């Protein structure tokens, strides 16, 4: 396939993946990716059984799937880059050749992080920026600028810090969002709104705090109104999962959004994940509720 045509197809595919992820709440279903069609022709975006997708008409790899417990040693390194293991077989042909060609041409890929069965978080565009034959590893970066750096093993401290910030923004935060959305079945824990594009994964303890880990137990699915209210201490959640509304809001008279969207939530319980292991940490809720109480219940 002509390289310009292939690049145009990639852009269309990535646009579609982004739209589906936005609609779902940050993730895509495996079935959606396998049934994808473009211009009437079926073109699966991931492979049915392997962690790499190399359409026969493409000169470079289209997508890769990374999973923490997969058959290959795919790891996120301490410098914010992903080390992606060679596929089995000849390191200079087949899947490995198309990955290496993506490095040569600078073609962008889609990285899918497997969060749960049949649930994937898309991260794109990503780039193959280096090849370590002695370790049978490719290096995947989250920013095109890394394609111009040469050997990424020699990164200066400022560039390394930049890579780590990117990893947090483009790997950790989307993965956290997906895990929270899946745990809460893509619905707001306060009002049960189910539109994924209108939902956020809210941190209970902020991620800048030492307790603020990107774990499901430190998150809760909230619609954008209730997330904003939570962040501004207009809405709190007790360690017993009960909703509290700030006193000044309870006494305020305004339109139907305030009355039905916030005031009527006071005293209700949040909707919890089915799995007890995914439910909010009472310790984290207690920390956050104490902050809310000091600011909003006096």
Specify the range with the lowest mean pLDDT, choosing from 43-57, 117-131, 152-166, 214-228.
152-166
Q: What is the pLDDT of residue 70?
A: 46
Q: How many CB atoms lie within 10 A of CB 286?
A: 13
Domain boundaries, the chain: 3-179, 186-296
pLDDT digits (tens, 9 = 90+) for 179-215: 999 999 999 999 999 999 999 999 999 988 888 888 9
Digit-coded pLDDT (tens) for 72-87: 445 556 677 888 888 8
Mean pLDDT of 254-275: 92
How many alpha carbons lie under 13 Å from residue 186 in its C-beta half-sphere? 15
**pLDDT(100) > 90:** yes
More confident position, 76 or 53 = 53
Burial of 147 (0-12, 13-18, 19+ CB in 10 A): middle
Given a cut of 80, is residue 91 above it in pLDDT?
Answer: no
Q: What is the dihedral of CA 216, 220, 224, 228, to 10 degrees?
A: -110
Closest CA to 190 of 239, 240, 242, 234: 242
Burial string for 211-223 (b: 16+ CB within 10 Å, else e) reads: eebbebbbbbbbb
CA distance 226 to 231: 9
- Given this model, what pLDDT does residue 73 score? 45
pLDDT tens track for 140-188: 998 888 777 767 777 778 877 888 888 888 888 999 999 999 999 999 9
Tokens matching residue 210:
């030492």
Tell me the pLDDT of the chain averaged across its residues.
89
At residue 74, the pLDDT reads 52
Token pair belonging to 65: 């799937």
Task: Quote the pLDDT of residue 148.
Answer: 75
Question: Are the beta carbons of 43 and 96 closer than 8 angstroms?
Answer: no
pLDDT attached to residue 53: 95
| Stretch among 58-62, 77-81, 219-223, 264-268 having the lowest mean pLDDT | 77-81
- Tokens 């899918």, located at residue: 112
- Quote the pLDDT of residue 78: 67
pTM for the structure as a whole: 0.87
Most confident of the following: 91-95, 110-114, 153-157: 110-114
* Residue 80 CB contacts under 8 Å (≥ 6 apart), including other chains: 142, 160, 162, 163, 164, 165, 166, 167
Q: What angle do CA 110, 114, 118 make, to 5 degrees?
A: 105
**Nearest alpha-carbon partner for 198 in 226, 172, 156, 157:** 226
Is residue 24's pLDDT more than 70? Answer: yes
Share of the chain above pLDDT 90, in %: 62
137-141 and 37-38 beta bridge pairing: unpaired
Q: With 80 as the cut, is the pLDDT of residue 240 above it?
A: yes
d(CA 52, CA 47): 6
Average pLDDT of span 56-80: 73
């Amino acid at each position: 396939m002509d390289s310009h045509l292939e690049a145009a197809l990639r852009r269309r595919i990535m646009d579609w993946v982004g739209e589906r992820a936005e609609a779902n709440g940050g993730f895509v279903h495996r079935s959606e990716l396998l049934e994808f069609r473009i211009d009437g022709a079926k073109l699966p975006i991931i492979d049915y059984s392997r962690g790499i997708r190399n359409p026969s008409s493409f000169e470079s790899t289209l997508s890769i799937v990374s999973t923490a417990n997969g058959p290959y040693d795919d790891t996120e390194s301490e410098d914010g880059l992903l080390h992606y293991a060679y596929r089995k077989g000849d390191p200079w042909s087949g899947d490995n050749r198309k990955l290496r060609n993506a490095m040569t041409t600078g073609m962008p890929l889609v990285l899918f992080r497997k969060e749960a069965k049949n649930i994937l978080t898309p991260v794109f565009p990503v780039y193959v920026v280096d090849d370590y034959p002695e370790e049978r590893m490719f290096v995947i970066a989250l920013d095109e600028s890394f394609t111009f750096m040469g050997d990424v093993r020699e990164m200066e401290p400022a560039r390394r810090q930049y890579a780590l910030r990117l990893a947090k923004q483009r790997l950790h935060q989307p993965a956290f969002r997906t895990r929270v959305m899946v745990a809460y079945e893509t619905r707001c824990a306060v009002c049960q709104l189910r539109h994924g594009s209108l939902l956020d994964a809210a941190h209970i303890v902020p991620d800048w705090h030492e307790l603020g880990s990107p774990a499901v137990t430190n998150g809760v699915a909230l619609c954008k109104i209730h997330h904003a209210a939570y962040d501004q201490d207009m809405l709190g959640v007790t360690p017993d999962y009960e909703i509290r509304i700030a006193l000044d809001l309870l006494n305020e008279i305004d339109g139907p959004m305030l009355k039905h969207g916030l005031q009527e939530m006071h005293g209700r319980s949040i909707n919890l994940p089915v799995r007890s292991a995914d439910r909010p940490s009472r310790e984290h809720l207690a920390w956050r509720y104490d902050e809310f109480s000091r600011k909003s219940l006096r």
